[in-house]
Chain A
């Protein structure tokens, strides 16, 4: 049969050529559209893979808004609310859907000036946290700032897992930090130095004010920290004006999370004794309670992430006190889309929403081409096959008179079409890829520039999506037209399908064929 097929194709070059051209054009449309579709899907998958199944939980009770509220209103159980939140977080990170997590406790306002004012002014330091130490907790040796290369340890080492678990009194400090040593010398910090952080409670005057005066100290609790590492803040991060200023704070000291918990315990005891909230009674340089940075939770997979985030949302919704919303200037940070919430969940997949419609429009464009071309070519190919069959009726009659089964004749004709198809489609796939590349890339680029950016930036044009950490260039880089094996197979399946559907006319024609009328007149 195959021999006869080759013979027919070889000896009927005009017909073969017509079929080849039709299938070649069909192949270009089909392969082009399939490749665009697949490439868009690849971008989607790569995006989600790169973004990962992680989420960042933010809690602002300790932030400027609550801070403002706290000092301007009557006492409320600030720490109690935090503790509830912290407890909820502990349950969340122990959920079965979570495979990893990281967060940092921090404690701002541990007194003891490590800078002198001259140095701060000289270096242009904004002085937001001026002379207070910021203790920044970590929960793993390769803590998040190291992972993101925001900081790097230039001297010494990071904590071990054991030291972290035990809440060891160790620390990693900024390379710009200066201390007064035992000899009263003001110098750079070295590995092995011991820094003392302390909570001090002062007696206030009649007006409820206090001064840092040793004579007025009511109680002092100290925590000594041995320096095991010195870190350098990345140059890139220093240039980034929108990054939390806290990262640039040269008084930032990394310590194990558990150590912060024990320091906080000291603070809580002092708080219960002196009632800091009644400012007319006492003053304390420990101006805020313990806080919690963003919590990064790594879920098992994307669906786990959605499930988990939904759970957390339900669990913590009550934290969004309505009275907070009424405060002047209490608008949430720019990177939060949901208005006026005091905890938020940003999923790594959220950024996908911003590119999803770009990909969907590309997908829709490819689908239209695919469906229209498939339908059109089924009709065109069926007509051509029918016309060619009519010119081959004597041949079909002869084969039947020789006793060839109708099914064999149908198979022979379909095989002929497939043979032409193989030649036509293999060459058209290459051309289709070639054409699809500039068209789809242009489409992607245009839509990215106009839409993706508008979703990714705030009113001032700053890039705000730090979760996925990807801009339009990253997305464009993910967009790669390539014809891998699965794509080729998909194209071949569709093209073969078109041939087979079009071949229905052969089945129809041959089964109704009456050889007597053709052969015997």
Chain B
């Protein structure tokens, strides 16, 4: 089910009199129940793309439609509050809070209906991402990178949104932990029917995606590759093997 549409997205940076186009007439659709990878080399514009679809930045031209409605009409703050969750590379948790309090804060901010005791649910979400009660009650500054990222995923889950966006979520993690985080995100897409959009330069992650959107550095546009059988093609196009 189509949940997010990107239409003719255009974005550039103004560097003095020079205009540097980052995204040019980008179109893309995202559905629930699928795991998407936005693939591209550094500086290709994949993070910019994520910042725009997460309403942390605004496009110069084009539209982002959430369930057919322009997010400008919804309101950027409201859209972020009720329709999406973001998982960042550097976790971005509130440091003076515990893991549970971080999750609880997100639940208190969203307008989405959350049934039941929020505190109990927060512990439950953390348990779902394999954070036990004891760890949940520790301040996030005392947690490992993997634990912090799991906390961030639990926070993303807690607000009961359709779309979870992640910017290089395994960028600061070791291989084993990264594997676990990606498995978790895939599970969210497939089992919880979320639309998971992940920005990465890791081909292994792209391999596991249902859809890969590769950013063409020349055309400043996407090349859509459905499923992972196109790995070689992607490699030959953008990476030196």
User: Which residues of A are interface residues toward B (Cβ below 8 A)?
Assistant: 4, 7-8, 11-12, 394-395, 397-406, 515-516, 519-521
Residues of B within 8 A of A402 (CB): 80-81, 105-106, 109-110, 159
Given A515-B56, A516-B57, A520-B47: A401 and B77 within 8 A (CB)?
Answer: no
Q: What's the minimum C-beta distance from B136 to chain A, rounded to whole angstroms?
A: 15
Q: Can you list 10 pairs linking A and B with CB atoms under 8 Å apart?
A: A7-B97, A12-B96, A400-B56, A400-B77, A401-B56, A402-B105, A402-B159, A516-B51, A516-B56, A520-B47
Contact across chains for A403 and B57 when beta carbons are under 8 A apart: no
User: Which residues of B are interface residues toward A (Cβ below 8 A)?
Assistant: 47, 50-51, 54, 56-57, 77-82, 86, 88, 92-97, 101, 105-106, 109-110, 139, 159, 167
Given A516-B51, A520-B47, A520-B167: A401 and B109 within 8 A (CB)?
Answer: no
The complex places the Cα of A521 from the Cα of B172 at a distance, in Å, of 14
Contact across chains for B96 and A397 when beta carbons are under 8 A apart: no
The complex places the Cα of A398 from the Cα of B86 at a distance, in Å, of 10
Given A516-B56, A520-B50: A7 and B101 within 8 A (CB)?
Answer: yes
The complex places the Cα of A468 from the Cα of B90 at a distance, in Å, of 78
Residues of A within 8 A of B95 (CB): 394-395
Q: What's the minimum C-beta distance from A104 to chain B, rounded to whole angstroms?
A: 82
Residues of A within 8 A of B101 (CB): 7
Contact across chains for A394 and B97 when beta carbons are under 8 A apart: no
Q: What's the minimum C-beta distance from B160 to chain A, rounded to whole angstroms?
A: 13
The complex places the Cα of A406 from the Cα of B77 at a distance, in Å, of 9
Residues of B within 8 A of A520 (CB): 47, 50-51, 56, 88, 167
Residues of B within 8 A of A403 (CB): 77-82, 109-110
Contact across chains for A398 and B93 when beta carbons are under 8 A apart: yes
Q: Which of B51, B56, B81, B96 makes the CB contact (< 8 A) with A404?
A: B81
Q: Which 10 A-B pairs have the closest CB atoms?
A: A403-B81, A403-B80, A11-B96, A516-B56, A516-B51, A402-B109, A516-B57, A398-B92, A402-B106, A403-B77
The complex places the Cα of A223 from the Cα of B61 at a distance, in Å, of 115
Given A4-B105, A403-B78, A403-B110: A398 and B94 within 8 A (CB)?
Answer: yes
Residues of A within 8 A of B92 (CB): 394, 397-398, 401, 519
Q: Which of A8, A399, A400, A519 makes the CB contact (< 8 A) with B96?
A: A8
Contact across chains for B56 and A7 when beta carbons are under 8 A apart: no
Chain B CB within 10 Å, residue with most, of A400, A404, A519, A520? A520
**How many A-B Cβ pairs are below 8 Å?**
64
Residues of B within 8 A of A12 (CB): 96
Residues of B within 8 A of A395 (CB): 94-95
Residues of A within 8 A of B159 (CB): 402
The complex places the Cα of A402 from the Cα of B86 at a distance, in Å, of 8
Residues of A within 8 A of B57 (CB): 516
Given A516-B51, A516-B57, A520-B167: A401 and B94 within 8 A (CB)?
Answer: no
Chain B CB within 10 Å, residue with most, of A395, A400, A401, A515? A401
Q: What's the minimum C-beta distance from A290 to chain B, rounded to whole angstroms?
A: 91
Q: Which of B79, B86, B96 makes the CB contact (< 8 A) with A7?
A: B96
The complex places the Cα of A399 from the Cα of B77 at a distance, in Å, of 10
Q: Which of A7, A8, A405 makes the CB contact (< 8 A) with B77?
A: A405
Please, which residue of chain A has its CB at the minimum distance from the CB of B51?
A516
Q: What's the minimum C-beta distance from A368 to chain B, rounded to whole angstroms?
A: 41
The complex places the Cα of A405 from the Cα of B109 at a distance, in Å, of 9
Q: What's the minimum C-beta distance from B57 to chain A, rounded to whole angstroms?
A: 5
Q: What's the minimum C-beta distance from A3 to chain B, rounded to whole angstroms?
A: 8
The complex places the Cα of A402 from the Cα of B109 at a distance, in Å, of 7
Residues of B within 8 A of A4 (CB): 105
The complex places the Cα of A58 from the Cα of B205 at a distance, in Å, of 107
Residues of A within 8 A of B96 (CB): 7-8, 11-12
Given A7-B97, A395-B94, A520-B167: A401 and B78 within 8 A (CB)?
Answer: no
Residues of A within 8 A of B77 (CB): 400, 403-406
Residues of B within 8 A of A7 (CB): 96-97, 101
The complex places the Cα of A493 from the Cα of B223 at a distance, in Å, of 62
The complex places the Cα of A430 from the Cα of B21 at a distance, in Å, of 63
The complex places the Cα of A397 from the Cα of B95 at a distance, in Å, of 13
Contact across chains for A401 and B97 when beta carbons are under 8 A apart: no
Please, which residue of chain B has its CB at the minimum distance from the CB of A1?
B108
Apart from A400-B77, A403-B81, A520-B47: 5 A-B pairs, beta carbons within 8 A:
A401-B54, A401-B80, A401-B88, A403-B110, A404-B77
Q: Which of B56, B79, B106 makes the CB contact (< 8 A) with A519?
A: B56
Given A7-B97, A404-B77, A516-B57: A399 and B109 within 8 A (CB)?
Answer: yes
Q: What's the minimum C-beta distance from B11 to chain A, rounded to whole angstroms?
A: 12
The complex places the Cα of A233 from the Cα of B95 at a distance, in Å, of 85
The complex places the Cα of A516 from the Cα of B57 at a distance, in Å, of 7
Q: What's the minimum C-beta distance from B168 to chain A, rounded to whole angstroms?
A: 10
Please, which residue of chain A has its CB at the minimum distance from the CB of B110?
A403
The complex places the Cα of A445 from the Cα of B161 at a distance, in Å, of 72
The complex places the Cα of A8 from the Cα of B139 at a distance, in Å, of 13
Residues of A within 8 A of B82 (CB): 403
Please, which residue of chain B has its CB at the minimum distance from the CB of A408?
B109
Given A516-B57, A519-B56: A401 and B79 within 8 A (CB)?
Answer: no
The complex places the Cα of A8 from the Cα of B97 at a distance, in Å, of 8
The complex places the Cα of A521 from the Cα of B94 at a distance, in Å, of 17
Q: What's the minimum C-beta distance from A43 to chain B, rounded to whole angstroms?
A: 50
The complex places the Cα of A403 from the Cα of B83 at a distance, in Å, of 10
Residues of B within 8 A of A406 (CB): 77
Please, which residue of chain B has its CB at the minimum distance from the CB of A399?
B109
Please, which residue of chain A has its CB at the minimum distance from the CB of B57?
A516
Q: What's the minimum C-beta distance from A520 to chain B, rounded to whole angstroms?
A: 5
The complex places the Cα of A401 from the Cα of B78 at a distance, in Å, of 10
Q: What's the minimum C-beta distance from A264 to chain B, rounded to whole angstroms?
A: 93
Given A7-B96, A516-B51: A401 and B110 within 8 A (CB)?
Answer: no
Please, which residue of chain B has its CB at the minimum distance from the CB of A9?
B96
The complex places the Cα of A404 from the Cα of B56 at a distance, in Å, of 12
Residues of B within 8 A of A401 (CB): 54, 56, 80, 86, 88, 92
Residues of B within 8 A of A11 (CB): 96-97, 139
Residues of A within 8 A of B56 (CB): 400-401, 515-516, 519-520
The complex places the Cα of A325 from the Cα of B37 at a distance, in Å, of 110
Residues of B within 8 A of A516 (CB): 51, 56-57
Please, which residue of chain A has its CB at the minimum distance from the CB of B106?
A402
The complex places the Cα of A399 from the Cα of B110 at a distance, in Å, of 11
Residues of A within 8 A of B80 (CB): 400-403
The complex places the Cα of A7 from the Cα of B97 at a distance, in Å, of 8
Q: What's the minimum C-beta distance from A392 to chain B, rounded to whole angstroms?
A: 9
Contact across chains for B109 and A404 when beta carbons are under 8 A apart: yes
Q: What's the minimum C-beta distance from B66 to chain A, rounded to whole angstroms?
A: 13
Please, which residue of chain B has its CB at the minimum distance from the CB of A10?
B96
The complex places the Cα of A406 from the Cα of B82 at a distance, in Å, of 16
Q: What's the minimum C-beta distance from A455 to chain B, rounded to whole angstroms?
A: 63
Chain B CB within 10 Å, residue with most, of A398, A403, A404? A403
Residues of B within 8 A of A399 (CB): 105, 109
